[in-house]
């Protein structure tokens, strides 16, 4: 190691210790400090490691949890970057702080969540063995042009790491198009079967062929623009996945039991995914596909999916007094509609909290809520009471009113602590749908009550 690298490791560790001393959860600063001394420190501290990188709009965090769980099930300890530190500084901090003082990695494996825009910086430094691209959806108020920009950023990232095996969602026409532009070997995953009742999705971020502009046809839909797409003009179509769900046998709030085929095996496996909702089925297929590409036995990974735990704000469960709270982070129309679709599948009386802030980390423009499908849940009759919370609680209330909610059953509060009182008084299960900063506040209020540790510890 060069002296600069030694200093970089020390700077990273000491900055993090100092932040902890003052009870600050800074995740990027230690990485920035390290890079001041050695801009390539990430390359040095990850040398010899076997790394899986997960990028894409939705499902990154959950897919990472599934991968860690699969590695752990086989007795392989892995390193991961939690709490949203998925830009270059955050990834640098995580890997550098977890190296020895001389910069040697302490664990052989790492599962790294990476922001779509940061992939081109991170991937060439850590040379991942496998890169998963989960999907691409319009985030908040992005328009089509921005979705294409994000796709372009991901493409640059993959091109910067040509040795990585690419795991792609076969049902997503946007990310699927990457395969034709890069030299990397590609493995595909998907759902061979439709999942919802709706034939035509309400929401599509990719209605027209990415190659020729003709409107796609679909053999079936799963959700949003995902499904068995084909272009009637140029022939661009859903590739045959190597890993696919062939049949959903049972889906409830505890998880999903389904049948899965793998092109390498002559038989189908029955697997149970310990998290509910269709989008977690995609995350599970991504994890299974990546684990196998990584060289792990498919059966081992499949079995581990049953015990996967929910992660930071993605379907976390809390017990509060006599009631239960399930918290699901929502931050864009597609993810929000899917979370609400999941709530409609609960089919028993419950209460819901919709929390909306408009701070910098959330995006100031919150009009995306008008594109999310609240209508179905409001007409389902299962919501006994609704609480709206946050800086933009009134906007949320208005959205629910237009979705058909009974306004006499909507309560408005501004503070997460007040919301917690409302939740604790509920005689039925409560489901909360916060966006990012409102989730942090709600989680902090829960933490105060239950004494659970802060997420960065
Ligand atoms: Zn076409």
pLDDT one-digit tens code per residue, 245-297: 999 998 877 789 999 999 888 889 999 998 878 889 999 999 999 999 999 99
Neighbours of ion ligand 1 (CB under 5 A): 209, 211-212, 214, 231, 233-234, 236
* Antiparallel, parallel or unpaired: β 109-113 and 78-80: parallel
Mean pLDDT of 149-154: 95
pLDDT bin (cut points 50, 70, 90) of residue 455 is very low
Length of the chain: 457
CA 222 to centroid of ligand 1, rounded, Å:
20
CA 91 to centroid of ligand 1, rounded, Å:
38
Active site residues: 365
Beta-bridged to residue 55, according to DSSP, are 133
Mean pLDDT of 337-358: 88
pLDDT one-digit tens code per residue, 93-141: 999 998 998 899 999 999 999 999 999 999 999 999 999 999 998 875 5
pLDDT bin (cut points 50, 70, 90) of residue 167 is very high
- What integer pLDDT is reported at residue 85 of this predicted model? 85
**Statement: residue 454 has pLDDT above 60:** no
- What integer pLDDT is reported at residue 244 of this predicted model? 97
**Fold category of 314-450 in CATH:** 3.90.190
Tell me which residue of 309, 226, 247, 305 sits closest to 273, measured CA to CA: 305
pLDDT one-digit tens code per residue, 211-249: 999 999 999 999 889 999 999 999 999 999 999 999 999
* Cβ 366 vs Cβ 393: under 8 Å: no
CA 202 to centroid of ligand 1, rounded, Å:
22
CA 207 to centroid of ligand 1, rounded, Å:
11
* Antiparallel, parallel or unpaired: β 227-230 and 217-221: antiparallel
CA 237 to centroid of ligand 1, rounded, Å:
8
CA 154 to centroid of ligand 1, rounded, Å:
21
Alpha-carbon span 267 to 254, nearest angstrom? 26
Q: Which helix (H) or strand (E) holds 411?
A: strand 410-413
For the chain, what is the mean pLDDT?
89
CA 314-149-332 angle, 5° bins:
30
CA 208 to centroid of ligand 1, rounded, Å:
8
CA 175 to centroid of ligand 1, rounded, Å:
15
- What integer pLDDT is reported at residue 252 of this predicted model? 77
Tell me which residue of 327, 139, 308, 172 sits closest to 239, measured CA to CA: 172
**Fold category of 3-307 in CATH:** 3.40.1190
C-beta pairs of 315-319 under 8 Å, 24+ apart in sequence: 315/62, 315/275, 315/276, 315/277, 315/280, 316/443, 318/446, 318/450
**Statement: residue 2 has pLDDT above 50:** yes
Residue-by-residue DSSP string for 290-314: HHHHHT--HHHHHHHGGGPPPBTTE
Strands (E), 182-288: 186-191, 217-221, 227-230, 243-252, 255-262, 268-273
Mean pLDDT of 201-206: 72
**Statement: residue 75 has pLDDT above 90:** no
Mean pLDDT of 206-210: 92
Give me the sheet containing 255-262, strands edge to edge.
78-80, 109-113, 50-55, 130-133, 165-169, 186-191, 243-252, 255-262, 268-273
CATH 3.40.1190.10 residue window(s) in the chain:
3-307
Put residue 378 in one of left, alpha, beta given phi > 0 → left and psi -120 to 50 → alpha.
alpha
**Statement: residue 16 has pLDDT above 90:** no
pLDDT bin (cut points 50, 70, 90) of residue 456 is very low
CA 138 to centroid of ligand 1, rounded, Å:
21
H runs (alpha helix) in 305-431: 333-344, 375-379, 393-402, 416-424
CA 371 to centroid of ligand 1, rounded, Å:
26
CATH 3.90.190.20 residue window(s) in the chain:
314-450
**Residue 246 in tokens:** 């062939």
pLDDT one-digit tens code per residue, 18-64: 888 776 766 788 999 999 999 999 999 999 999 999 999 988 988 99
CA 178 to centroid of ligand 1, rounded, Å:
15
- What integer pLDDT is reported at residue 47 of this predicted model? 95
């Amino acid at each position: 190691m060069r002296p600069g690298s030694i200093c970089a490791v020390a700077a990273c560790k000491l900055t993090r210790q100092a932040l902890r001393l003052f009870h600050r959860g800074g995740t990027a600063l230690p990485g920035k400090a390290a890079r001041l001394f050695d801009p390539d420190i990430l390359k040095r501290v990850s040398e010899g490691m076997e790394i899986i990188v997960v990028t894409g709009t939705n499902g990154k965090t959950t897919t990472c949890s599934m991968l860690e769980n699969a590695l752990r099930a086989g007795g392989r300890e892995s390193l991961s970057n939690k709490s949203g530190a998925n830009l270059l500084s955050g990834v640098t901090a995580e890997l550098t702080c977890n190296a020895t003082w001389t910069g040697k990695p302490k664990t052989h494996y790492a599962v790294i969540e990476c922001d779509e825009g940061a992939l081109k910086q991170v991937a060439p430094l850590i040379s991942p063995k496998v890169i998963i691209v989960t999907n691409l959806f319009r985030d908040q108020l992005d328009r089509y042009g921005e979705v294409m920009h994000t796709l372009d950023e991901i493409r640059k990232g993959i091109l910067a790491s040509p040795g990585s095996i690419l795991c792609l969602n076969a049902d997503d026409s946007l990310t699927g198009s990457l395969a034709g532009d890069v030299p990397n070997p590609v493995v595909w995953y998907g759902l061979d079967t439709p999942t919802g009742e709706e034939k035509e999705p309400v929401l599509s971020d990719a209605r027209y062929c990415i190659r020729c502009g003709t409107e796609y046809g679909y053999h079936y839909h799963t959700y949003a623009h995902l499904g068995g797409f084909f272009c009637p003009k140029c022939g661009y179509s859903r590739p045959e996945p190597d890993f696919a769900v062939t049949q959903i046998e049972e889906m409830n709030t505890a998880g999903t039991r389904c049948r899965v085929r793998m092109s390498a095996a002559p038989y189908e496996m029955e697997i149970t995914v310990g998290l509910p909702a269709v989008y977690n089925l995609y995350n599970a297929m991504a994890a299974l596909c990546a684990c196998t590409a990584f060289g792990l036995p498919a059966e081992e990974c499949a079995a581990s999916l049953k015990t996967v735990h929910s992660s930071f704000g993605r379907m976390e469960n809390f017990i509060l007094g006599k009631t239960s709270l399930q918290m699901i982070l929502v931050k864009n129309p597609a993810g929000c509609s899917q979370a609400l679709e999941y709530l409609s599948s609960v089919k028993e009386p419950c209460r819901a909290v919709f929390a909306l802030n408009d701070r910098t980390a959330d995006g100031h423009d919150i009009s995306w809520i008008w594109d999310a499908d609240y209508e179905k849940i409001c007409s389902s009759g299962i919501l006994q009471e609704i609480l709206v919370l946050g800086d933009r609680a009134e906007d949320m209330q208005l959205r629910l009113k237009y979705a058909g909610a009974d306004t006499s059953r909507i309560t408005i509060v501004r503070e997460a602590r007040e919301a917690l009182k409302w939740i604790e008084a509920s005689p039925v299960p409560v489901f909360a749908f916060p966006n990012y900063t409102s989730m942090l506040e709600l989680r902090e209020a829960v933490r105060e009550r239950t004494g659970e540790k802060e997420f960065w510890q």
